[in-house]
Structure 1
């Protein structure tokens, strides 16, 4: 029996895509093994958001070939979609397949295994793609929360971002397909579903029917599902009407990841973001009106071309004013093919590093402040796994995305338990099983 191994870089959408590809291989009789084991086929599902993602992808290609010099190396995902000619020239690579036509992956691999071809570049123009590619997942291996891809592509074209070119235009998955998958996952004892996509807020716009809210309302009716969570959101989605309706769904997890990128209006405009800081502040106010204790997390980029000390300080103070519960801070990475790569006043690496450290320190302080208000309260936790470094401890998430450790004499993975939150650690809260 042939063996296949996978390595995933990047976002939750990539994680979902890898799970779907694994199921395709399994249906064709392949055995899934750990990436560090000897396999006949290695699939590296790549990310190209930053130069680091590209570099890491190339490292994993070389690593796979070292594990088994006779293996077929497949490069899939966003880096594959945007730079197929570059990747197919790498000696170790046999197959490059992007973000479409992935149902053909096993057939293409078989062609190479049968020595009909040594190398295949199967990447086609994704910018003309109009339909959502159905890649279903019936089990998220090793996971207690099920990620469900409901949408593909992005039409925003922010000046720094390569993703619209890697994922193509927006395509929504039909509601009946989403609901069918949720029901199957519910039957497999998943308590929580996380709705994910490249630009989730645009769900339904291309279908001419349905909306993200309507989809969530239908999922809410599925009895076995106890929690519904959303991945990253576009700020403009968060109108009063949307949030009022959302607040009526008691299974909804009050965690909003609202991408900011910069707290400077001048930089937001240069980034081609579609809101101002004043508008963003109003969207956050809307959230807190209907979800007073919600976790509000974000992404902030430092060192965008033209960001001076004044613009950085605006970002720093704006983040402080909003009081985020968590910030993913990342440094601007120039991506060939994006407008920002040609902008003047590129920021030096050491300045990006310094600004990143300052913002991370602020983020850690705000995270602790957010946690403080829950100490001494009891919360429901969905436990995901045993803590590797602490015997008898399990970790999981509250509905509002606080990571909690608690000791248990029995295996509570996959279960929802009441926990008294007692003590704040660096990146989590410790609690006691009630």
Structure 2
């Protein structure tokens, strides 16, 4: 059987889908080899969120072709979904498979391989348009069922695809299509399978999980100033809570407008739920949020944070921030900086605005110089380190529980390393093999800026 090398780029959804593609290949008998080895087939699950992501996708495709010029190089996902004819002209690509076609990878690949053996190597890279389709109006959720994931203790579960938000800097609605939600029973079946295979924690992920169920309720969008409906998401989490073997439930990135008293109260009653909320912000300045087409104000965002803090004791609030968005003035940046200080996050992912062709923001003439973006990023990274350290320090000597995931050497010593429910990284110096176990104890001291020392009770 032919050998296959796999490489994934991009988000957790891409990671989930790559795990599924690998599972299908292994079940069909293909030999999986490391990407740096010579292989018969290379499959690159691509990303297109920025121009830089496009470039990285092309680099990996060309690296594969250089490794073995006779190999079949398959470009999967967002880069070929949005790149159109220009992407298909890339000489590093032999076969292109777009989004909503990943589940059909095996028959697509085998049809291509058969045609190649018959001497029709010059056949169309999309099998005459059948492997990259227009998903802008599809209602079909691409069904997949995972048995195992690349992570050995924590499983990411994809619950929806697509996005209807159309932020002015983002290409994802064009790459992933509109919101499509997965049926609850199908999700629960996968959760039960993963629990049976030893996974103790599940993370619900998707392109825009706050939109979960919108399409099932016959809705297409949520207007500015409206709350996202939380009933279906809350019901799903409640059912996962009942699953034997699952001890932790975590959520991926959330739209701030889904945070209501109803959702927070419901989640706070579930003992398996992890109080770790990633609420994407992007800017703390209302005028920048308006240009970004984000449909909330900084004040509304802060209200949602306060709701969470009223139901959970010091929950972990993390976020994304873009600096140097087109037109961002020094005064607007300073307003964002003050807002971030006011909120007090556990962690902030700070990004310098990266132009993405095909978006509204990329066409603006008031692009911010790179040196200005870099300086603003540096300022926020200093603030991030300060706030992150303060959050960890507040959890010293408090009772906690850690899911241990791996053994790691730190400063010449061997530790068992894992995470708390708040996703605080912990290190436990022990000779015991505790990987996959959840232990109760407390944090005793800072071991590294991002790691606390754990002591078992």
Map of 2:341 onto structure 1: 320
Check if 1:383 corresponds to 2:392.
no
State the 1:388 CA deviation: 5.1
Question: Could you tell me how far 1:205 is from its partner in structure 2?
Answer: 1.4
Per-residue CA distance 1:74-116 (angstroms, 9 max, x = gap): 1112112110422222222111111112222222222333314
Deviation at 1:60, TM superposition (A): 1.1
Does the Cα contact within 8 Å between 1:200 and 1:233 map onto a contact in 2?
Answer: yes
Do structure 1's residue 412 and structure 2's residue 417 form an aligned pair? no
Query: Which residue number in structure 2 is paired with residue 166 of structure 1?
Result: 175
Q: Alignment partner of 2:204: what SS? A: strand
| Deviation digits for residues 41-67 of structure 1 (CA, Å, limit 9, x no counterpart) | 111111111222111111111222232
CA distance in 2, matches of 1:428, 1:113: 48
Q: How many residues get paired?
A: 434
Give me the whole-angstrom Cα distance separating, in 2, the residues matched to 1:117 and 1:391: 54
Please give the alpha-carbon distance, in whole angstroms, between the structure 1 residues aligned to 2:284 and 2:366.
19
C-alpha separation in 2, matches of 1:127 and 1:57 = 22
Partner of 2:418: 396
- Once the two structures are TM-superposed, the CA of residue 147 in structure 1 deviates from its matched residue by 0.4
CA distance in 2, matches of 1:36, 1:281: 46
Residue 92 (structure 1) aligned with residue 92 (structure 2): yes
SS in 2 for 1:233: coil
CA contact (8 A) 1:61 1:93 kept: yes
Q: C-alpha deviations, 1:266-321, integer Å up to 9, x for none? A: 00011010100110010000000001210000000001011010010011110110
Partner Cα distance (1:257, 1:347) in 2: 27
Cα deviation digits, residues 335-386 of structure 1 (max 9, x gap): 1111111123110111111101110110011000000111122311111212
Q: Any conservation in 1 of the 2:80–2:87 contact (CA below 8 Å)? A: yes
Q: Is the 8 A contact 2:80 2:88 kept in 1?
A: no
Of the three residues 269, 274, 277, the one matched with 1:248 is: 269
1:150 maps to which of 150, 159, 180: 159
1:179 corresponds to 2:188: yes
CA contact under 8 A between 1:150 and 1:196: conserved in structure 2?
yes
What's the offset of the Cα at 1:329?
0.4
Normalised by the length of structure 1, the TM-score is: 0.97
Structure 1 range deviating more: 61-70 or 314-323 = 61-70
Could you report, residue by residue, the CA deviation over 1:225-282 in whole angstroms, capped at 9, with x for unpaired residues? 1000000000000001111111111100000000000000000011010100110010
Farther off after superposition, 276-285 or 342-351: 342-351
Structure-to-structure mapping, 1:3-22, within 5 angstroms? 3-22=3-22
SS of 2:136's equivalent in the other structure is helix
1:8 & 1:349 partners in 2: Cα distance? 28
Secondary structure of the structure 2 residue equivalent to 1:400? coil
**More moved, 290-299 vs 370-379:** 370-379
- Higher deviation after alignment, 3-12 or 194-203: 3-12
Alignment of 1:360-375 (within 5 A): 360-375=381-396
1:120 maps to: 125
Q: CA RMSD in A?
A: 1.5
Shift in CA distance, 273/218, structure 1 to aligned 2, threshold 3 Å:
same
Which runs of structure 2 are paired with 1:96-245 in the superposition (5 Å)?
Answer: 96-114=96-114, 115=116, 116-118=120-122, 119-121=124-126, 122-208=131-217, 211-245=232-266
